[in-house]
Structures are given as C-alpha cells and as structure tokens.
Amino acid sequence: MPITPATATHNSSSNGTAEAILLELVDENGTTIGTAEKLSAHQPPGLLHRAFSVFLFDEQGRLLLQQRALGKYHSPGVWSNTCCGHPYPGEAPFAAAARRTYEELGISPTLLAEAGTVRYNHPDPESGLVEQEYNHLFVGMAQSALAPDPEEVGDTAYVTAAELAERHAKDPFSAWFMTVLDAARPAVRELTGPSAGW
C-alpha cells in the first residue's frame, strides 16, 4: 500500500505498532462534533460518522464493483461499490475518496465529482456491526489498469446496469450498496448518459 501523509500519520506509530484509526463524528447536518475509534463507532447502536462512497465507470458506462477481501472485519467477501471508506478527522471527503481508491485499487480516478450526500442506518446481520453514516458520494471514471491490494479487495468486475441487477439478485452485497447507488443515480446518469441505463 502506498504511504501517504494520511496513512503515515494514522496507521503506524514510531515504534511500528498500529494506532487506533479515528473517524469523524457528525450531527444530522454533517457538522463535525468529535471523533471516535473506528470499531467502537460501528458497535450497536452505532455513532453517526462521516464516510464516502465512490462509483467509477469505464468508457462503456459499466460500473466498477469490488468484492471486499475475506480478511476484512466488516462485511468480508461481499460485493460493493468501487470504493468506500472514512475520511480521517479533518481530511476533506474528496481527498479521502481519491486517496483510498488509489490505496485499494491502484488507480487514480478521473473526472471525479461530488454526487451529493446520503444518511443511513444499516445493521450488518453477519458481523453485528452497524453503519450509521453521513456518506459523501462521488462519481468518476476508471481509465487505467487496476492493481488491487489483496488485503482490501478480493475481486473486481465491470458490470452494466442489467448485469448488476442479475448479480445483485444472486450474490451477497454490502448492506449499504443499494442506498448509496440510488442516492448517486442522478450524477451517475449525468456522467454515463442515457444509453448506459443507470
């Protein structure tokens, strides 16, 4: 994984041990009100925190999905949007989205644009954890070869809108996937055009 100032500051200490990852807690309007350790923020009933979701498309208007690695503590092995995560406290969501997409998939998004926000409360029945998130949405293009980090990503796939519907009916997806996709659809349609079917 590439070391950026954010990952160097937040993921390791001077003696090489992992430090707690902090999330930015927000109120219902998305205003920052504090911080909490990542795992504790996801324990029931969950603490409302800032997150982001990225949807990248290829030139044919197909959505890039990622299957979360089996080693992840939250929602392992399920399919989800291109990239999702949490900004570090004080980190702009746009910067976090671009950083994390590169860290997970080895690509820098092009034409990355804001696509609104959505607030949701999704318990994950498998892990017992809760997603209480104020999520910043982004859409853009994937225009270079992927180089996924195997600790983060189990598999990837580009799908049309019709293929997604088929896959979603038979494969496990993250609890938040349809909520964030539906919220991002107006921006997705603007990016991909009417013929893509989103």
Q: Hey, which residues are catalytic here?
A: 84, 133
Write the burial class of residue 106 (CB in 10 Å: 0-12 exposed, 13-18 middle, 19+ buried). Answer: middle
SS3 98: helix
Q: For the chain, how far is it from start to end, CA to CA, in angstroms?
A: 32
Write the burial class of residue 82 (CB in 10 Å: 0-12 exposed, 13-18 middle, 19+ buried). Answer: buried
Rounded Cα distance, 192 and 109, in Å: 15
**What is the length of the chain?**
198
Rounded Cα distance, 40 and 35, in Å: 11
